[in-house]
Amino acid sequence: MNLDTKEGFEEAKEWTARFIAQINEGGVWGVPRSNSGYQLWHETKKYQCVAGGEECIERVLEALGYESLGGKTLEIEVGINE
């Protein structure tokens, strides 16, 4: 999906809305590609980045009417055995 095009951004919004609807109230969406996590509250349409963070995800969440509660509350460090 190319978020820089109208069609791509609309597709991202539709996909994200379907995906996050499966997450329980207060649940966390883990995003492996960036080691990010977002806690979501559907009733109040709020979210909080709890690890990492991706600007593109936050743009889409905000386009869906979600409001950020601010910065990260938890840092997750992922490493590969050396």
Q: For residue range 40-57, what is the model confidence (pLDDT) as tens digits?
A: 999 999 999 999 898 999
Q: At what angle do helices 55-63 and 6-20 cross, to 10 degrees?
A: 80
- pLDDT level of residue 35 (50, 70, 90 thresholds): very high
Average per-residue pLDDT for the chain: 87
In this prediction, residue 48 carries a pLDDT of 95
pLDDT mean over 29-34:
92
Tokens 């999906």 belong to residue? 1
CA distance 56 to 80: 26
Torsion on CA atoms 53, 12, 15, 1, rounded to nearest 10: -100
Amino acid at 51: A
Residue scoring higher pLDDT (74 or 53): 53
In this prediction, residue 74 carries a pLDDT of 47
